[in-house]
Amino acid sequence: MSKVTRRTFLKSASAALLAGSMTSCRIEELLEEGWPEEYEIDKPPVPGADEWSLGEERYYKSICLQCPGGCGIQVRVVEGRAVKIEGNPIYPTNLGGLCPKGQNGLQVLYDPDRIRGPMKRVGERGEGKWQSISWEQAIKELGTRLAKLRSKGESHRVAVIGGHYRGHMGPLMDRFLKVYGSPNNISHDLGMEGAMSAHYFMQGAKDYFAYDWENTNYILCFGTSLLEAGVPAAYRLRMYGQMHRGRPGIRAKLVQIDIRYSISASKADKWIGVKPGTDGALALGLAHVIIRDNLYDHTFVKNYTFGFDDWRDDSGKEHVGFKHLVIEQYPPEKVSLITGVPTKVIERTAQEFASHRPGIAIYGRGISGQSNGLYTCMAVHSLNALIGSLDIPGGVMIQRRPPFKEWWEPTLDAGAIKGLKQPRIDLAGSETFPFASSAYATLPNNILAGYPYKLDTLFLYYTNPLFSSPQISRYYEAFTKIPFIVSFSPFLDESTHMADLILPDHTYLERWEDDEIPSSTGYPLLGIRQPVVKPLYNTRHTGDVMIAIAKAIGGTVGAAFLDNYLDMVRDALEGIRTAGRGSIQEKEPQKFWAALLDNGGWWAPPYSFAQWQEVIRTPSRKFEFYSLLMKLKIDELVQRIADREGLTHEKAFEQLIEKLQLSGQGDEVFMPHYEPLRFIGDEKEYPFLINTYKVMPHAEGRGGNQPHLQEIFGLQHSKSWEPWLEIHPEDAHILGIEDEERVWVESPIGRVQFKALIFEGAQRHVLNVPFEYGHSSYGRWARNRGENLNKIIGTEFNYLTGNVSWGSTRVRLVKV
Amino acid sequence: MPRWGMVIDLDRCTACQACTIACRNENNIPFAGPDHASKGRAIFWNQVLPFKEEGEQGYSRIRFTPLPCMHCDRPSCIKVCPVRATYKSEEGIVFQIFARCIGCRLCMCACPYSRRFYNWSKGHWPEIMQSAFNPDVSLRPLGVVEKCTFCVHRWQKAREKARSEDRPIREGEYVTACVQTCPAKARYFGDLDDPESMVSKLARSRRAFRLLEELGTHPKVIYLGEGEWREDI
């Protein structure tokens, strides 16, 4: 990259003036030789440096965004350059601590391969030829395109795929699509819908849970690496320390139930290796022992749960209770055969868990993102209810939300109403995926089939389907059928590479945003993200861009927004100011805002326990072992099918169960039960299962372009910069595979190559691969490092929730 | 005169490596890149290392130990340096003078903890990434040995402030970057000679031990052993 001295600056500035901005070049050149000169020269090396005196140093409080955890940070800025990120010592989740990702945020800000301004594709799609375009022009063109589509009555043909929405960005995108008239706000969440639905069906709250780690005595951790994938990371890590050494004389026990021997498993007091997809059976086996030995919380079960004992409904029909189901069907001997966990361990763990209250049973993507994810999560959560750990100190909590002011109700014109009546393009909420709020992995099929309609314009917000979805080749194909793709990414990831228009966002250290904490503290907590440096390049906040597009479309669409995103955020925060509670009780707007920035956020401790009306919102007002809520929704669907096809209720129900590919029968459908995992590929031909997992430096799949994180990536195996494939020593011996030998991993979908790593902590017939590698784009440090296993993972679903089943694909190993 | 030391509680430590990254960013330590890293040339002043323990269940238990420089009271690295490029300060910090180092790497052989690193490359920082350099810490030239300094630039700042107010450095006023960031609060830093300081209290714990104490190096980094879960809580 050429250095910008004063002389070259002046020279190229005049040259650029003469030449205009019509340069276009290939992406490889951009990455290797630097960016078009007009980007280089329109900013001095340190934007805004003239506002700083020599050696001047300031600290800015803000919020991290290396994962969705939203920890408080303070950034040391010297003469306009951000030089160090530290934890915000008063922010309640992390109290000054930060995880390695959070520490490394400056490699996001100062990534040399960032996109430096809006760009428009000029060559073939994916060829990588771009032309810079002004923001005004880009917004005008996009506004015209969207307005035209809307005037033809086809506003529903616009879709947004997004993830990583922080604070009010999600509601802003919702609002835009609502007033514009498209139902297609598609979340890229691929794994956690199962867990959230379990909470919804049993407790009536569709959210993640918070846990009172500090006061708990026993933790059963199913399919989530507490110390590697926990969110908010720094909070979970702090809580690990607290559990062990926070209370004199009391040290909680952590039992890690995991497919592989992870770092969390090695830091836990016990590791229970379980066969993939059988966690649900294990949880019900534990429940069996707890009920059999009469160790459950009788008072809680009697007063606050529904469906424990057999019961009779209004029509007089007998229904089987949870107790009955579990005692009959999940004796430890049977569970042991399914899960591979010895009966002795099942008995002992259950007894310990029930007798060391308060305890918690937690779960994550590992079990949620499977074809049986919903029922597995329900099975695990029922353990919490059995020992009465709901909303008590040391138990499960429900995160309270800050008292935001609702934005005013926007006016919908006829165009919007018409568009919103269309079905969603991912069929979420339809008979195919009845309880899904999004079904992102089904998009390629629908787009290729043009069903239920053809997509016209696709927006990508902090998502990279061409890297992180299963069976990536299908997404590539689908992309060719979409006439126009817009990406907001600040980095040239795989999907942005295939876009037609790039409208780069600021990185998280350059922008204004509110950031509501994901479930953690229990009490309401809101962080404020503020720019710590002036934006380095010609980038713009996506919130502002969406508002500008809305204004360009005009009419009711434009009228739904204030002038810019920060105003919208400040409007919502009025609710907190006027509430006058929590950490800032300042009523005067200027002072309130100043205090907010000074503290890095607002919070209102403590959490009040046993607020049953808040935490249990089911129809029975009790924790439901038998989900009346699910019954209600399924009955509605069944009725619809029965009416349409002229079937009896029973027949229609059977038909629906078959369509959803459930193995549970009758009442089981509404209760926690064990569903065997569904597989892609024949066991004889493809004897191995695969498991992808997260490690701490993983940064939610966005860390590949951060060299420091790459260099500490494989702590457990002392590996860095490339992926590995963990294989059990006996399997390796049988196949004659040596350590470090390259092997093909073949599935019915395709094959990819990995370096084998013989690991005792892997299970027989299960291969483990870490996420993050295998980028074909995304900057100089991420590109061409190993393979991406997602390429060969087939698309199997949990049809109830729309989750992808990540562990369903069978594979075989072939020596290279 | 304080004697600076660190306590690392392995029962709190989560092996997250935040200490490693905080150290790298604070001290302008370059990343090695894939080629150098594969040859074992990556520099980690503070590194978390996995140790395997044979287990009875068919798999080895892995334990993780974060390793900064031990800042030994009797450092073996100092004795072997032919040019006196390394020395122990009055307050117990073991320093490296980069301008004097000839890169012979004898100290690296002598250090029983492998906490010294040779600078194999200049570090390839693209220009824009140089914006994030900590102005308080110099970059090391090619071909010298470098190591953990207990973030001595932070000590210098704290000392100046304390001097101007004519008082000793207060507890917590000078902490290293790794201690500051540790999310699990597993690390403590302070004056081992002050019986009231947190580190000296913890150093007297029954769980306290030092690495390779038998070598007579007298390390000033003290570990607290991992605990066991007991039934009777």
pLDDT in tens, B73-97: 999 999 999 999 999 999 999 999 9
C-alpha distances (whole Å) from A446 to each of A316, A431, A493, A526 are: 44, 15, 24, 38
Q: Among A324-328, A574-578, B17-21, B53-57, name the one with the lowest average pLDDT.
A: B53-57
Q: What is the mean pLDDT of residues B59-85?
A: 95
pLDDT, tens only, A279-296: 999 999 999 999 999 999
In this complex, do B183 and A249 lie within 8 Å of one another by their Cβ atoms?
Answer: no
In this complex, do A250 and B233 lie within 8 Å of one another by their Cβ atoms?
Answer: yes
Q: Is the pLDDT of residue A769 over 90?
A: yes
- The number of beta carbons lying within 10 Å of the beta carbon of residue A396 is 25
pLDDT at position A32 is 53
In this complex, do A110 and B129 lie within 8 Å of one another by their Cβ atoms?
Answer: yes
pLDDT at position A44 is 47
Contact list in B for residue A110 (CB cut-off 8 A) is 128-129, 131-132
Residue B69 tokens, joined: 């420089």
pLDDT at position A30 is 54
- How many beta-carbon pairs below 8 A join chains A and B? 182
Q: Is the pLDDT of residue A13 over 80?
A: no
Q: Among A4-8, A443-447, B106-110, name the one with the lowest average pLDDT.
A: A4-8
CA distance A111 to A91: 27
Closest-approach residue (CA) in chain A for B123: A707
Nearest Cβ partner for B17 among A106, A112, A715: A715
pLDDT at position A12 is 42
pLDDT at position A497 is 95
Closest-approach residue (CA) in chain A for B22: A103
* CA quadruple A620, A622, A628, A629: dihedral sign: positive
Q: Is the pLDDT of residue A41 over 50?
A: no
Beta bridge partners of A540: none
pLDDT at position A29 is 54
pLDDT, tens only, B173-207: 999 999 999 999 999 999 999 999 999 999 999 99
Q: Is the pLDDT of residue A17 over 50?
A: no
pLDDT at position A55 is 87
CA angle A23, A24, A27 (to 5 degrees): 140
pLDDT at position B35 is 92
Q: Among A104-108, A756-760, B148-152, B227-231, name the one with the lowest average pLDDT.
A: B227-231
Mean of the per-residue pLDDT values for chain A? 92
Give the model's confidence band at A700: pLDDT under 50 very low, under 70 low, under 90 confident, else very high.
Answer: confident
Q: Is the pLDDT of residue A40 over 60?
A: no
pLDDT at position A10 is 40
Closest-approach residue (CA) in chain B for A357: B233
The fraction of chain B above a pLDDT of 70, given in percent, is 98
pLDDT at position A1 is 39
Q: Are B68 and B45 in contact (CB under 8 A)?
A: yes
In this complex, do A696 and B133 lie within 8 Å of one another by their Cβ atoms?
Answer: no
In this complex, do A102 and B184 lie within 8 Å of one another by their Cβ atoms?
Answer: no
**Range 125-154 of B in CB contact (< 8 A) with A:** 126-129, 131-135
In this complex, do B229 and A761 lie within 8 Å of one another by their Cβ atoms?
Answer: no
DSSP helix/strand/coil, B191:
strand
Beta strands in A628-781 (DSSP E): 688-693, 725-727, 742-746, 751-758, 766-770
Q: Are A637 and A652 in contact (CB under 8 A)?
A: no
Q: Is the pLDDT of residue B2 over 80?
A: yes
Give the model's confidence band at A230: pLDDT under 50 very low, under 70 low, under 90 confident, else very high.
Answer: confident
Q: Is the pLDDT of residue A223 over 80?
A: yes
Q: Is the pLDDT of residue A735 over 90?
A: yes
C-alpha distances (whole Å) from B189 to each of A615, B115, B199 are: 42, 18, 6
Closest-approach residue (CA) in chain B for A696: B16
In this complex, do B22 and A240 lie within 8 Å of one another by their Cβ atoms?
Answer: no
Q: Among A205-209, A624-628, A744-748, name the one with the lowest average pLDDT.
A: A205-209
pLDDT at position A304 is 96
Q: What is the mean pLDDT of residues B1-28?
A: 97
**What's the pTM?**
0.93
Q: What is the mean pLDDT of residues A491-514?
A: 96
